Amino acid sequence: MRTLCFLLAIFLFLPAVTAEALSDKERTTHILNRVDDLWRGDSSYAVVTMRVKTEHYTRTMRMEGWSKGKEKTLFRVLEPLREKGAMTLKSENHIYSYLPKTDRTIRLTSGMMMGSWMGSHLTNDDLVKEARLEEDYEASISFEGVRDGLDIIEFTLTPKPDAPVVWGKLLLTILADGYAPLLERYFDEDMALARTFTFTDMKLLSGKMRPALLRVVPADKPDEYTEFIYEQLELNIEVSDAMFTKASLKRR
């Protein structure tokens, strides 16, 4: 899931080429890669606060996370104290959960993949099926101009036939100047709106202005949300492959 590892991680330096000098297809590819690279790097470290509001509860968790490429991600809870040390490991297509109170590591089964990740509005399956826009979707510019006082570009993205994604369509709205994302809407296979991501609070993170606040709102529960607030971000750091193994969880 692109958004969750949305969460952590993160950004490459951009190629020195202007989008205006490219063909329509090249320009679309260039812009989408720049958007993707806002949350992606060869490796990353981040500290993030997650706030969840549902009909039945609210919760706040602070966590740190590491990533390496698309296939390796590790989250570790820092707060609250009662959950400190709990970890989620993504390695290839597998998800593991470590609970320090019981000193147990659980590999999530296929039947558990659609369950909520740490009580949020994302699922365990979102972690496994991280997507890259340009690789997994056919994209076209569906609007370009001023809307609500902002100069924007809006893309319509439909999955490629062999793409490992579950969505019927995505609508992505970005700022024309700088290509920072503003809004991303996910539609199910019946083309009904399923959830919306909003990106706000531009801050200097890892040497570049980026949205520091990401909010996820499910379409069927518009009064609920999950927010991710970036506190710290480091990119393209040295991270060992050994960190992303099941055996490493108990040693941490």
At residue 109, the pLDDT reads 85
Q: Does 5 have pLDDT greater than 50? A: no
Given pLDDT bands bounded at 50, 70 and 90, which one contains residue 131? Answer: low
- Does the model's pTM come out above 0.85? no
Residue 139 falls inside a structural domain? yes
Q: Does 125 have pLDDT greater than 70? A: yes
Domain total of the chain: 1
At residue 208, the pLDDT reads 84
The parent domain of residue 41 ranges over 5-75+133-238
Percentage of the chain with pLDDT > 90? 58
**Average pLDDT of the residues in 186-203:** 96
CATH number of the domain that residue 10 is part of:
2.50.20.10
Residue 243 falls inside a structural domain? no
Residue 128 falls inside a structural domain? no
Measure the CA dihedral 193/2/228/243, to 10°.
150
Range of lowest pLDDT (13-22, 47-56, 158-167): 13-22
Highest mean pLDDT among 1-5, 13-17, 41-45, 177-181: 177-181
At residue 24, the pLDDT reads 80
Residue 121 falls inside a structural domain? no
Given pLDDT bands bounded at 50, 70 and 90, which one contains residue 129? Answer: low
Task: List the one residue out of 229, 237, 204, 177 whose CA is nearest residue 51.
Answer: 229
Residue 102 falls inside a structural domain? no
At residue 63, the pLDDT reads 96
Given pLDDT bands bounded at 50, 70 and 90, which one contains residue 140? Answer: very high
Given pLDDT bands bounded at 50, 70 and 90, which one contains residue 76? Answer: very high
Interacting residues of 78 by C-beta distance below 8 A, sequence separation 6+ = 47, 62, 63, 64, 84
Residue 170 falls inside a structural domain? yes
pLDDT in tens, 22-65: 578 889 999 988 888 776 678 899 999 999 999 999 999 999 99
At residue 16, the pLDDT reads 37
At residue 49, the pLDDT reads 98
Residue 93 falls inside a structural domain? no
Q: Which two tokens stand for residue 242?
A: 């050994």
Residue 127 falls inside a structural domain? no
Bridge partners (DSSP) listed for residue 115 = none
3-state secondary structure of 45: strand
Q: What is the mean pLDDT of the chain?
A: 86
Measured CA angle at 133 (ends 228, 178), to 5 deg = 70
3-state secondary structure of 39: helix
